[in-house]
Structure 1
Amino acid sequence: MGDISEKITEMQGYKLHVIETDKYKTNTIVWRMKAPLTKKDVTKRALLPQVLQSSSANYPTTTKLRSYLDDLYGATLYVDLSKKGEYHVISFLIEIANEKFLTDPTPLLEKGFELLAEILLHPNASGNAFDRETVEKEKRTQKQRIQSVYDDKMRYSNVRLIEEMCKGEPYALQVHGDAAEVEAITPDSLYEYYQKALAEDEMNLYVIGDVKEAEVKAFAEELLKFETRTPKQAEDLRVSQKSDVNEVKEQQDVKQGKLNIGYRTNISYGGPDYFTLQVFNGIFGGFAHSKLFINVREKASLAYYAASRLESHKGLLMVMSGIDNKNYDQAVKIIREQMEAMRKGDFTEEEIEQTKAVIKNQILETIDTSRGLLELLYHNVIAKTNIGIETWLSEMQKATREDIIAVGNKINLDTIYFLTGTEAGQ
């Protein structure tokens, strides 16, 4: 693990991160753009990367662009959208074979850079408007993406919990935007937003693989130049603690009830309690050996599934479970009891050690892929920290029973959301 060192250079309008490693078979180029989540822009922003990756000036149809990728020894290009705290993050990812392993001398890394520059800077557009047909096609897909959340009740109940819990906060916005706002986007308005994003976003370029920093820098310098900027920061929200727990029940035609519970941890990524919080969550609900899994699912047979996860940049801990509608009160009670048990220190040294071992394995597995490594490193951009993987692991190992109990006592129950079926007469 010692071979992972990140070299960061300030380029024109963005930061370049080079990770030289021969650990992976391919070289990965990832472009990330982040901006504060806003209701005004979220839907346009979600559409933008889809339009950019669909075609470009030199490859004006999706077929032509994909066929060019095949010519590059099956390179892959894909885009991704995520919410991290109050930020909306766009990613473009290109994975390309390492040219060292090829018999012909194609300069693949350079071609990967050229492709990224093509997608970002030479879109399929004319006269300050994107190609109309492309925009309309991607708008239809975007509506389907937003709809698919409603069709998947597990995802839907998680989205609804966040909407209820974070009302009035940017984090309540959905990552793919609002279905009602898709139609109004035009090729011109999207192009205008594209120019704004390239001028204002905080931008980072990651190159991970068997590469030489000097060569990467030369390609980046030549092909990717942007205006210098001071990126907009999200407002630092201080959310006041609710005096009452917000309880929301919603009825739909579902066979299995979805019970999602949201806590505020009051701890965010990189803060002094952050690594202990990871251990806390692991014992509470993060893994198969944790309290929620054993007590709610196995011993009480109350849930089809029960687990918890953290949103580290927003300071949330969310419990997700699937239950029979009639078991609502009992399930809420037993989940709350598990949190209480954590606060009282009702866990063993063995559970602490087991959890640390599982977290360590998880991190090592994560960095087995270049994408996983990138995710871990990018936390530092969001949180303005500089935590390496070694630090991550050593700090987490230091968490003591007292630390874990102290973290539990900072966590507040905020919202209980229940998606229930109609048949139980509730």
Structure 2
Amino acid sequence: MKVTRIELQPGVWLTAVQTKKFKSSVLGARFLTPLTAETAACNALIPMVLRRGTQSHPDLESISAVLDELYGGSLEPVVRKKGETQCVGFVGSFLDDAYTLEKEKILEPAVALLAELIGNPYTQNGTFCPEYTKQEKANLTDQIRAQVNDKQQYAQMRVVAEMCAGEPFGVDKLGSEPAVEAITHQSLWDGYQNLLREARVELYYCGSADPDRVQAAFGPLLAVLPKDGNRTGLIRPAKKKAPKQPRRVEEALDVTQGKLSMGFRTNTDAWDEQYPALALINAIYGGTTTSKLFMNVREKLSLCYYASSGLMKYKDVMLVSSGVEFDKVGQAEAEILSQLYKCQTGDFSDDELEWARRSVVSTLRTTLDNQSRLEDYWLGQGAAGLTEGPDELAERVEAVTRAQVVEAAQDLTLDTVYFLKGRE
């Protein structure tokens, strides 16, 4: 697997992963821009409306017909958050050229369609189609409202919003309902012109084609991007210290099981040399099925239906997520913090350390075998301006010492406790 990263023009980067491991190839074009409450909803809506049609293919049916001709490929809008950067655009999957029946080229026409979606969208009177905008606004509003349906994910989203209130990281990648409601087809068009000129662009390819051919194939897409743009630089989120007393937030909904989410400041993110040690302590603490939270809080003491921890790689945040009985929330929180104290004092066995190391290393190396995870990994690295591959990060994890793991644990500080309880 060969990874080539090149700046095609100022602020426009291509990551090309050449491999014969997969029968499909993956294409991506994502606009990277600072995440703000004012622009998040507009930016999230843009790829959804772009996907509705182009000048040559003005509706979903005609775009689907083109994709069918490309061996049933897909090209879908994406909205993601990497640290305090919002990433919006398209990711597509197509049959790799090596497997076409008549040795047809798929890469070039697939990129041409991608370029058409971005550079020649279907418009009416010089702006986005009002009807398409109205329909996709309704769909985006439905997505925002639906987030409450998965209570575990909702609790995590809420603890982040409370913990990082006033920080860009606290903004939902989809924006808010009022912000969506305020969008017009004209304001959406104006927002898109700003995005075209000012957002960094991350292009991506993973497949059997060599990097020179990939670079040439993206030519039509480069041609539709403004040349006079002043594209956003890299964003490294500021680190914050936890308050002396953790913030506490309770919310009541119609739930039969409580959701306890706890946000910790880590003092470490993906840019830091000690990040591999943080990844290991997260695995020891709550990131695996052999972790302290799983084995003790869930299995041994039966205080939670589930209990796990996870890192926000591009932000100095770790979240603990648990499902608890309403009357056991105090016990559960105390035991979750007790297990953290054990990590901070080095009270874990060599076996626990090595089980965690094997888990983290395995997860990183199996990323190389999964197209979607690989694309998401390189998007994050591109957003951060980092070039380290999953295998290289795995090697650094292999070299982490026990002392470094304990040191990383000692930087973990409780910031916010969010509890989702049932209505009285």
Consecutive unaligned residues in structure 1, runs of 5 or more: none
In the TM superposition, 1:32-47 aligns within 5 A as 32-47=30-45
Tell me if structure 2 keeps the 8 A contact 1:36–1:232. Answer: no
Q: Which residue of 2 aligns with 1:364?
A: 365
Q: Which SS does the other structure have where 2:2 is aligned?
A: coil
Deviation of 1:33 after TM superposition, in Å, equals 1.4
Deviation of 1:58 after TM superposition, in Å, equals 1.5
- Residues 298-351 of structure 1 show CA distances to partners (whole Å, capped at 9, x for unaligned) of 111111111110001111100000000000110010000011010011111111
Q: Does 1:108 align with 2:109?
A: no
In the TM superposition, 1:385-396 aligns within 5 A as 385-396=386-397
Identity of aligned residues (%): 31
Q: Distance in 2 between matches of 1:99 and 1:235?
A: 38
Tell me if structure 2 keeps the 8 A contact 1:199–1:229. Answer: yes
Q: Distance in 1 between matches of 2:146 and 2:358?
A: 36
Q: Which SS does the other structure have where 1:345 is aligned?
A: coil
Q: Distance in 2 between matches of 1:13 and 1:235?
A: 16
Q: Does 1:191 align with 2:192?
A: no
Q: Which SS does the other structure have where 1:373 is aligned?
A: helix
- Residues 374-417 of structure 1 show CA distances to partners (whole Å, capped at 9, x for unaligned) of 22223322222221333201110111111111001111110010
Q: Which SS does the other structure have where 2:369 is aligned?
A: coil
Q: Distance in 1 between matches of 2:386 and 2:106?
A: 33
Deviation of 1:272 after TM superposition, in Å, equals 1.2
Q: Does 1:285 align with 2:283?
A: no
Q: Which residue of 1 aligns with 2:248?
A: 247
Q: Label 1:105 to 1:391 Cα distance change in 2 as closer, same or farther (>3 A).
A: closer
Q: Does 1:69 align with 2:79?
A: no
In the TM superposition, 1:312-323 aligns within 5 A as 312-323=313-324
Q: Which SS does the other structure have where 1:38 is aligned?
A: coil
Q: Distance in 2 between matches of 1:150 and 1:389?
A: 33
In the TM superposition, 1:259-408 aligns within 5 A as 259-408=260-409
- Give the AA of the match of 1:364: R
Q: Distance in 2 between matches of 1:100 and 1:143?
A: 41
Tell me if structure 2 keeps the 8 A contact 1:200–1:232. Answer: no
Q: Distance in 2 between matches of 1:270 and 1:184?
A: 37
Q: Which residue of 2 aligns with 1:218?
A: 216
TM-score, with length taken from structure 2: 0.95
Q: Distance in 1 between matches of 2:81 and 2:3?
A: 26
- Give the AA of the match of 1:241: A
Q: Distance in 2 between matches of 1:400 and 1:233?
A: 31
Q: Distance in 2 between matches of 1:109 and 1:27?
A: 8
Q: Does 1:130 align with 2:128?
A: yes
Match of 2:167 among 161, 166, 169: 169
Tell me whether 327-336 or 174-183 shows the greater mean CA deviation: 174-183
Consecutive unaligned residues in structure 2, runs of 5 or more: none
Deviation of 1:232 after TM superposition, in Å, equals 4.4
TM-score, with length taken from structure 1: 0.95
Aligned CA RMSD, in angstroms, stands at: 1.6
Tell me if structure 2 keeps the 8 A contact 1:97–1:108. Answer: yes
Tell me if structure 1 keeps the 8 A contact 2:357–2:398. Answer: yes
